[in-house]
Amino acid sequence: MLACGVALACADDDNNPADSDTETSTGDGDGDGGDGDPGDGDGGDGDPGDGDGDSGDGDGDSGDGDGDSGDGDSGDGDSGDGDGDGDGDPACELSELLDQALWDEMFLHKNDPACEGSNYTLAGLLAAAADYPSFACEGDEATRRRELAAFLAQISHETTGGWANAPDGPHSWGLCFIEEVGCANNGCPQYCDPNNMQYPCADAKTYHGRGAIQLSWNYNYGQAGDALGVDLLSDPDLVKNDPKLALQTALWFWMTEQLPKPSAHDVMVGAWAPSADDEAQGRLPGFGMTTNIINGGLECNMPGNAAVADRVGFFTRYVDLLGTDPGDKVDCDMMSPYG
Protein backbone atom coordinates (compact mmCIF):
# COMPACT_ATOMS: atom_id res chain seq x y z
CA MET A 1 0.00 0.00 0.00
CA LEU A 2 1.26 3.49 0.37
CA ALA A 3 4.55 3.93 -1.21
CA CYS A 4 5.98 6.69 0.90
CA GLY A 5 3.27 7.71 3.27
CA VAL A 6 1.51 6.48 6.29
CA ALA A 7 -0.87 4.37 4.24
CA LEU A 8 -4.53 3.81 3.36
CA ALA A 9 -6.41 1.72 0.85
CA CYS A 10 -9.17 2.48 -1.63
CA ALA A 11 -11.53 1.33 -4.36
CA ASP A 12 -13.91 2.56 -6.92
CA ASP A 13 -14.74 0.29 -9.81
CA ASP A 14 -17.63 -1.99 -10.62
CA ASN A 15 -16.09 -5.34 -9.88
CA ASN A 16 -17.59 -7.84 -7.48
CA PRO A 17 -16.22 -9.93 -4.63
CA ALA A 18 -15.82 -12.93 -6.83
CA ASP A 19 -13.10 -11.21 -8.86
CA SER A 20 -10.46 -11.54 -6.17
CA ASP A 21 -7.82 -10.28 -8.52
CA THR A 22 -5.01 -9.62 -6.04
CA GLU A 23 -3.11 -7.74 -8.68
CA THR A 24 -0.20 -5.64 -7.55
CA SER A 25 -0.54 -2.53 -9.63
CA THR A 26 -0.88 0.81 -7.91
CA GLY A 27 -4.08 0.68 -5.99
CA ASP A 28 -3.85 -3.02 -5.48
CA GLY A 29 -0.99 -2.80 -3.14
CA ASP A 30 2.19 -2.32 -5.05
CA GLY A 31 2.84 1.11 -3.75
CA ASP A 32 4.48 2.42 -6.84
CA GLY A 33 2.58 5.51 -7.75
CA GLY A 34 0.98 8.05 -5.50
CA ASP A 35 1.82 10.84 -3.20
CA GLY A 36 3.02 8.94 -0.22
CA ASP A 37 0.54 9.88 2.44
CA PRO A 38 -1.10 7.19 4.48
CA GLY A 39 -4.08 6.68 2.42
CA ASP A 40 -3.02 7.80 -0.84
CA GLY A 41 -3.53 5.17 -3.32
CA ASP A 42 -4.59 5.30 -6.86
CA GLY A 43 -8.06 4.03 -6.52
CA GLY A 44 -7.67 0.39 -7.33
CA ASP A 45 -10.61 -1.45 -8.73
CA GLY A 46 -12.58 -1.66 -5.59
CA ASP A 47 -13.75 -5.22 -5.47
CA PRO A 48 -13.54 -7.18 -2.24
CA GLY A 49 -11.26 -9.62 -3.97
CA ASP A 50 -8.45 -7.12 -4.26
CA GLY A 51 -9.10 -4.88 -1.35
CA ASP A 52 -9.50 -1.68 -3.22
CA GLY A 53 -5.90 -1.16 -2.40
CA ASP A 54 -5.14 2.30 -3.61
CA SER A 55 -3.21 3.16 -0.57
CA GLY A 56 0.09 2.39 -2.00
CA ASP A 57 1.15 5.17 -4.16
CA GLY A 58 3.00 7.83 -2.41
CA ASP A 59 4.61 11.08 -3.25
CA GLY A 60 6.97 10.73 -0.39
CA ASP A 61 6.07 13.89 1.43
CA SER A 62 4.93 12.19 4.60
CA GLY A 63 6.76 9.52 6.41
CA ASP A 64 10.21 9.68 4.98
CA GLY A 65 11.65 9.44 8.41
CA ASP A 66 13.41 12.73 8.69
CA GLY A 67 11.56 13.77 11.75
CA ASP A 68 9.38 16.64 10.66
CA SER A 69 5.71 16.54 11.41
CA GLY A 70 4.65 14.99 8.18
CA ASP A 71 7.27 12.38 8.00
CA GLY A 72 8.49 11.09 11.18
CA ASP A 73 8.04 12.21 14.65
CA SER A 74 4.29 12.65 14.76
CA GLY A 75 4.61 15.32 17.38
CA ASP A 76 2.77 15.16 20.62
CA GLY A 77 -0.71 14.98 19.33
CA ASP A 78 -2.25 18.40 19.53
CA SER A 79 -3.93 19.40 16.34
CA GLY A 80 -1.65 22.35 15.95
CA ASP A 81 1.59 20.51 16.47
CA GLY A 82 0.98 17.26 14.78
CA ASP A 83 0.41 14.82 17.57
CA GLY A 84 -3.32 14.88 17.87
CA ASP A 85 -3.88 14.56 21.60
CA GLY A 86 -5.45 17.99 21.77
CA ASP A 87 -7.70 18.99 24.59
CA GLY A 88 -11.19 18.76 23.18
CA ASP A 89 -14.33 19.24 25.20
CA PRO A 90 -13.88 17.39 28.51
CA ALA A 91 -17.60 16.62 28.49
CA CYS A 92 -17.51 15.25 24.95
CA GLU A 93 -17.96 11.55 24.27
CA LEU A 94 -17.73 10.05 20.80
CA SER A 95 -20.33 7.50 21.85
CA GLU A 96 -22.84 10.35 21.97
CA LEU A 97 -22.60 10.56 18.17
CA LEU A 98 -22.06 6.94 17.24
CA ASP A 99 -23.72 3.94 18.87
CA GLN A 100 -23.64 0.28 17.92
CA ALA A 101 -26.85 0.38 15.90
CA LEU A 102 -25.58 3.26 13.75
CA TRP A 103 -22.15 1.63 13.38
CA ASP A 104 -23.81 -1.54 12.13
CA GLU A 105 -25.95 0.43 9.69
CA MET A 106 -22.91 2.21 8.30
CA PHE A 107 -20.81 -0.91 7.84
CA LEU A 108 -23.35 -3.42 6.65
CA HIS A 109 -20.89 -5.80 5.03
CA LYS A 110 -17.63 -5.62 6.96
CA ASN A 111 -18.28 -9.14 8.27
CA ASP A 112 -19.33 -10.46 4.88
CA PRO A 113 -17.54 -13.72 3.90
CA ALA A 114 -15.82 -11.80 1.09
CA CYS A 115 -14.44 -9.28 3.58
CA GLU A 116 -12.14 -9.47 6.56
CA GLY A 117 -13.31 -6.56 8.65
CA SER A 118 -14.27 -8.28 11.90
CA ASN A 119 -11.49 -6.52 13.82
CA TYR A 120 -12.93 -3.12 12.93
CA THR A 121 -15.20 -2.56 15.92
CA LEU A 122 -16.97 0.35 17.52
CA ALA A 123 -15.30 -0.55 20.82
CA GLY A 124 -11.93 -0.35 19.08
CA LEU A 125 -12.72 3.09 17.67
CA LEU A 126 -13.92 4.40 21.03
CA ALA A 127 -10.79 3.10 22.74
CA ALA A 128 -8.59 4.68 20.06
CA ALA A 129 -10.45 8.00 20.22
CA ALA A 130 -9.97 8.16 23.98
CA ASP A 131 -6.31 8.93 23.25
CA TYR A 132 -7.33 11.71 20.84
CA PRO A 133 -9.93 13.68 22.83
CA SER A 134 -10.12 16.45 20.23
CA PHE A 135 -11.41 14.07 17.58
CA ALA A 136 -15.06 14.83 16.80
CA CYS A 137 -15.14 16.95 19.95
CA GLU A 138 -14.38 20.47 18.68
CA GLY A 139 -16.91 22.97 17.43
CA ASP A 140 -20.67 22.76 17.47
CA GLU A 141 -22.54 19.49 17.10
CA ALA A 142 -22.85 19.85 13.33
CA THR A 143 -19.08 20.25 13.06
CA ARG A 144 -18.46 17.28 15.33
CA ARG A 145 -20.76 15.07 13.28
CA ARG A 146 -19.28 16.33 10.02
CA GLU A 147 -15.72 15.49 11.11
CA LEU A 148 -16.80 12.01 12.16
CA ALA A 149 -18.52 11.51 8.81
CA ALA A 150 -15.39 12.69 7.00
CA PHE A 151 -13.06 10.37 8.91
CA LEU A 152 -15.31 7.35 8.45
CA ALA A 153 -15.74 8.15 4.76
CA GLN A 154 -12.02 8.30 4.13
CA ILE A 155 -11.20 5.05 5.92
CA SER A 156 -14.19 3.41 4.22
CA HIS A 157 -12.87 4.33 0.80
CA GLU A 158 -9.43 3.10 1.80
CA THR A 159 -10.76 -0.31 2.91
CA THR A 160 -13.82 -0.69 0.70
CA GLY A 161 -15.01 -3.92 -0.81
CA GLY A 162 -17.80 -2.24 -2.75
CA TRP A 163 -18.43 -2.08 -6.46
CA ALA A 164 -20.98 -0.27 -8.59
CA ASN A 165 -23.74 -2.86 -8.31
CA ALA A 166 -22.89 -4.16 -4.85
CA PRO A 167 -25.77 -5.22 -2.57
CA ASP A 168 -27.03 -2.20 -0.60
CA GLY A 169 -24.91 0.04 -2.82
CA PRO A 170 -21.16 0.53 -3.11
CA HIS A 171 -20.99 2.77 -0.04
CA SER A 172 -22.23 0.11 2.34
CA TRP A 173 -19.00 -1.87 2.03
CA GLY A 174 -16.54 0.21 4.03
CA LEU A 175 -14.07 -1.42 6.45
CA CYS A 176 -14.07 -4.59 4.37
CA PHE A 177 -10.31 -5.21 4.29
CA ILE A 178 -7.91 -5.28 7.24
CA GLU A 179 -4.82 -6.20 5.23
CA GLU A 180 -3.49 -5.67 1.74
CA VAL A 181 -4.74 -8.52 -0.41
CA GLY A 182 -2.07 -11.01 -1.42
CA CYS A 183 0.30 -9.92 1.33
CA ALA A 184 -0.63 -12.21 4.22
CA ASN A 185 2.11 -14.32 5.81
CA ASN A 186 4.80 -11.78 4.89
CA GLY A 187 3.98 -12.11 1.21
CA CYS A 188 4.93 -8.53 0.25
CA PRO A 189 8.55 -7.78 1.18
CA GLN A 190 8.75 -4.78 -1.17
CA TYR A 191 7.65 -2.29 1.50
CA CYS A 192 11.04 -2.13 3.16
CA ASP A 193 13.32 0.86 2.73
CA PRO A 194 16.74 -0.60 3.61
CA ASN A 195 18.28 2.86 3.66
CA ASN A 196 16.16 4.06 6.56
CA MET A 197 18.39 3.63 9.58
CA GLN A 198 15.96 5.23 12.02
CA TYR A 199 13.32 2.58 11.41
CA PRO A 200 15.12 -0.52 10.11
CA CYS A 201 13.10 -3.47 8.88
CA ALA A 202 12.95 -6.40 11.27
CA ASP A 203 13.94 -9.83 10.07
CA ALA A 204 11.10 -11.85 8.56
CA LYS A 205 8.63 -8.96 8.85
CA THR A 206 6.87 -7.09 6.05
CA TYR A 207 5.31 -3.66 6.12
CA HIS A 208 2.45 -3.87 3.65
CA GLY A 209 -0.89 -2.16 4.16
CA ARG A 210 -2.75 -2.99 7.35
CA GLY A 211 -5.57 -1.40 9.30
CA ALA A 212 -8.07 1.31 8.48
CA ILE A 213 -5.41 3.60 7.02
CA GLN A 214 -3.56 0.69 5.40
CA LEU A 215 -0.31 1.65 7.09
CA SER A 216 2.62 0.81 4.82
CA TRP A 217 6.45 0.90 4.80
CA ASN A 218 8.84 0.38 7.66
CA TYR A 219 9.37 4.08 8.37
CA ASN A 220 5.63 4.65 8.71
CA TYR A 221 5.20 1.69 11.04
CA GLY A 222 8.09 3.11 13.03
CA GLN A 223 6.63 6.59 13.22
CA ALA A 224 3.17 5.38 14.15
CA GLY A 225 4.64 3.07 16.76
CA ASP A 226 6.63 5.91 18.30
CA ALA A 227 3.52 8.07 18.49
CA LEU A 228 1.33 5.31 19.93
CA GLY A 229 3.89 3.73 22.23
CA VAL A 230 3.89 0.35 20.47
CA ASP A 231 6.74 -1.46 18.72
CA LEU A 232 5.11 -1.89 15.35
CA LEU A 233 8.42 -2.54 13.60
CA SER A 234 8.87 -5.76 15.53
CA ASP A 235 5.23 -6.79 15.29
CA PRO A 236 3.48 -5.06 12.37
CA ASP A 237 0.62 -7.58 12.50
CA LEU A 238 -0.62 -5.79 15.62
CA VAL A 239 -2.19 -3.26 13.25
CA LYS A 240 -4.50 -5.91 11.82
CA ASN A 241 -4.92 -8.06 14.93
CA ASP A 242 -5.58 -5.41 17.60
CA PRO A 243 -9.01 -3.76 17.13
CA LYS A 244 -7.81 -0.57 18.80
CA LEU A 245 -4.62 -0.23 16.75
CA ALA A 246 -6.47 -1.06 13.53
CA LEU A 247 -8.31 2.25 13.95
CA GLN A 248 -5.84 4.17 16.11
CA THR A 249 -3.24 4.20 13.34
CA ALA A 250 -5.86 5.91 11.15
CA LEU A 251 -6.63 8.44 13.88
CA TRP A 252 -2.93 9.11 14.28
CA PHE A 253 -2.75 10.07 10.62
CA TRP A 254 -5.97 12.07 10.75
CA MET A 255 -4.85 14.14 13.73
CA THR A 256 -1.23 14.71 12.62
CA GLU A 257 -0.17 17.53 10.34
CA GLN A 258 2.28 16.72 7.56
CA LEU A 259 3.88 20.02 6.76
CA PRO A 260 3.16 21.79 4.53
CA LYS A 261 -0.14 19.93 4.77
CA PRO A 262 -2.40 20.58 7.74
CA SER A 263 -4.00 17.77 9.68
CA ALA A 264 -7.32 16.55 8.36
CA HIS A 265 -8.73 17.22 11.83
CA ASP A 266 -7.80 20.90 11.71
CA VAL A 267 -9.32 21.20 8.26
CA MET A 268 -12.66 19.77 9.36
CA VAL A 269 -13.01 21.75 12.58
CA GLY A 270 -12.02 25.13 11.13
CA ALA A 271 -8.65 25.32 12.89
CA TRP A 272 -6.66 25.59 9.67
CA ALA A 273 -6.15 28.96 8.01
CA PRO A 274 -5.09 28.52 4.38
CA SER A 275 -2.04 30.50 3.31
CA ALA A 276 -2.17 32.88 0.36
CA ASP A 277 -0.58 30.15 -1.75
CA ASP A 278 -3.15 27.61 -0.58
CA GLU A 279 -5.95 29.93 -1.58
CA ALA A 280 -4.35 30.57 -4.96
CA GLN A 281 -4.15 26.82 -5.51
CA GLY A 282 -7.79 26.32 -4.54
CA ARG A 283 -6.93 24.55 -1.29
CA LEU A 284 -9.73 25.57 1.04
CA PRO A 285 -11.33 23.95 4.10
CA GLY A 286 -13.79 21.14 3.55
CA PHE A 287 -13.97 17.41 2.93
CA GLY A 288 -12.22 17.86 -0.42
CA MET A 289 -9.15 19.15 1.37
CA THR A 290 -8.92 15.96 3.43
CA THR A 291 -8.84 14.02 0.16
CA ASN A 292 -6.07 16.33 -1.01
CA ILE A 293 -4.11 15.58 2.16
CA ILE A 294 -4.59 11.84 1.73
CA ASN A 295 -4.05 11.42 -2.01
CA GLY A 296 -4.09 14.74 -3.77
CA GLY A 297 -1.31 13.82 -6.16
CA LEU A 298 -3.41 11.13 -7.80
CA GLU A 299 -6.93 12.41 -7.31
CA CYS A 300 -7.21 16.19 -7.00
CA ASN A 301 -7.33 18.86 -9.69
CA MET A 302 -8.82 16.12 -11.89
CA PRO A 303 -12.53 16.73 -12.57
CA GLY A 304 -14.46 13.49 -12.73
CA ASN A 305 -11.95 11.40 -10.81
CA ALA A 306 -13.67 8.13 -9.84
CA ALA A 307 -11.79 7.69 -6.57
CA VAL A 308 -12.84 11.15 -5.42
CA ALA A 309 -16.44 10.36 -6.35
CA ASP A 310 -16.24 7.21 -4.23
CA ARG A 311 -14.92 9.15 -1.24
CA VAL A 312 -17.67 11.74 -1.64
CA GLY A 313 -20.24 8.96 -1.94
CA PHE A 314 -19.23 7.53 1.43
CA PHE A 315 -19.16 11.01 2.95
CA THR A 316 -22.63 11.88 1.67
CA ARG A 317 -24.06 8.65 3.06
CA TYR A 318 -22.50 9.14 6.49
CA VAL A 319 -23.47 12.81 6.64
CA ASP A 320 -27.07 11.73 6.16
CA LEU A 321 -26.84 8.95 8.74
CA LEU A 322 -25.23 11.28 11.27
CA GLY A 323 -27.78 14.03 10.69
CA THR A 324 -25.47 16.84 9.70
CA ASP A 325 -24.55 18.73 6.51
CA PRO A 326 -21.55 18.27 4.21
CA GLY A 327 -20.26 21.81 4.50
CA ASP A 328 -18.25 23.53 1.77
CA LYS A 329 -15.66 22.26 -0.71
CA VAL A 330 -16.67 18.61 -0.71
CA ASP A 331 -14.74 17.92 -3.93
CA CYS A 332 -11.08 18.58 -4.73
CA ASP A 333 -11.46 18.78 -8.50
CA MET A 334 -10.24 22.38 -8.52
CA MET A 335 -7.56 21.99 -5.85
CA SER A 336 -3.92 21.63 -6.74
CA PRO A 337 -2.11 18.92 -4.79
CA TYR A 338 0.95 19.71 -2.73
CA GLY A 339 4.25 19.40 -4.51
Mean pLDDT of 225-236: 97
pLDDT for position 316? 98
Mean pLDDT of 40-65: 38
Q: Which of 195, 216, 196, 192 is nearest to 204 (CA)?
A: 192
Q: Is-catalytic flag, 158?
A: yes
CA 261 to chain centre: 15
Would you say 79 and 86 are in contact if contact means Cβ atoms under 8 Å apart?
yes
Residue 13 pLDDT more than 80?
no
Binned at pLDDT 50, 70 and 90, residue 262 comes out as: very high
d(CA 336, CA 339): 9
Residue 229 pLDDT more than 90?
yes
pLDDT for position 90? 65
Binned at pLDDT 50, 70 and 90, residue 82 comes out as: very low
| Residue-wise pLDDT tens digits, 271-309 | 999 999 999 999 999 999 999 999 999 999 999 999 999
pLDDT for position 40? 39
Would you say 287 and 150 are in contact if contact means Cβ atoms under 8 Å apart?
yes
| Residue-wise pLDDT tens digits, 83-142 | 444 455 667 899 999 999 999 999 999 999 999 999 999 999 999 999 999 999 999 999
Residue 243 pLDDT more than 50?
yes
pLDDT for position 125? 98
Q: Which of 30, 31, 55 is nearest to 43 (CA)?
A: 55
Mean pLDDT of 37-59: 39
Binned at pLDDT 50, 70 and 90, residue 32 comes out as: very low
Of all residues in the chain, the percent with pLDDT exceeding 90 is: 70
Mean pLDDT of 43-62: 38
| Residue-wise pLDDT tens digits, 157-199 | 999 999 999 999 999 999 999 999 889 888 899 999 999 999 9
Would you say 258 and 293 are in contact if contact means Cβ atoms under 8 Å apart?
yes
What are the structural domains, with CATH classification, of the chain?
Answer: 94-175+257-338 (1.10.530.10), 178-241 (3.30.20.10)
pLDDT for position 4? 38
| Residue-wise pLDDT tens digits, 312-330 | 999 999 999 999 999 999 9
pLDDT for position 175? 98
d(CA 207, CA 205): 7
pLDDT for position 76? 41
pLDDT for position 88? 57
| Residue-wise pLDDT tens digits, 201-214 | 999 999 999 999 99
pLDDT for position 87? 56
Selected catalytic residue, list 147, 158, 179, 299: 158
pLDDT for position 156? 98
CA distances from 327 to 149, 293, 294, 330, 335 (A): 11, 17, 19, 7, 16
Mean pLDDT of 216-229: 96
What is the average pLDDT value for the chain, to the nearest integer? Answer: 81
Q: What are phi and psi of 134, to 5 degrees?
A: -80, -20
